[in-house]
Amino acid sequence: MDTTALRAAYEKLLDAAASPDLGEAADGGWNADQVLAHLISVDASTAAVALGVVAGARPTFDNRITLDRWNLNRIIGEHSGRADLIDHVRRQATLLCDIADHLDEKTTDVLVPTLLLSNDQLLVDQPVPLRGLIDGLATGHVPDHTQQILNLRRSQS
């Protein structure tokens, strides 16, 4: 797989997350730390699925744990602050991209039973090629969360 777009998406996200003027979401949504914790969880889950496929298992991808506020707060609590969260996202994204860089076409074509929710809305409940899970991070997921973080800038309130 080519992870150039995913790596670039993460760089934009991490630059946005490093902004010193991030506040709380006006709509009661996630703050920057919660977004970063969510990404840590998503990337670890995606990497685990990819490695499971390589191992010959038939893993599933279910993002509910990556949305759970208790889990997000647990992840945040394991870090010393935003800079530490940013560093963890950077390392986790690098690991995921490094794994994806070594996947061949046959592996990325494997269908992964997938359940994706967002804001209590069902987005996907069907098999998705592993490639689609990973490419979806670059084309939608990471850019969407980058914009979410940019919207937290106090000067934009």
pLDDT of residue 157: 45
> Is residue 61 a contact partner of residue 43, using CB atoms and an 8 Å limit?
no
| Residues 124-142: tens digit of each pLDDT | 999 999 999 999 999 999 9
At 14, the amino acid letter reads L
Structural domains of the chain sorted by starting position, each given as residue range(s) with its CATH number in brackets: 4-156 (1.20.120.450)
Query: What tokens does 93 get?
Result: 């994204």
CA–CA gap between residue 50 and residue 23 (Å, rounded)? 35
Look at residues 65, 5, 59 and name the one whose alpha carbon lies nearest to residue 37. 65
| Residues 40-75: tens digit of each pLDDT | 999 999 999 999 999 999 999 999 999 999 999 999
pLDDT of residue 27: 87
pTM of the model: 0.95
pLDDT of residue 155: 55
Residue 103's pLDDT band, with cuts at 50, 70 and 90, is very high
pLDDT of residue 26: 85
| Residues 5-31: tens digit of each pLDDT | 999 999 999 999 999 999 998 888 999
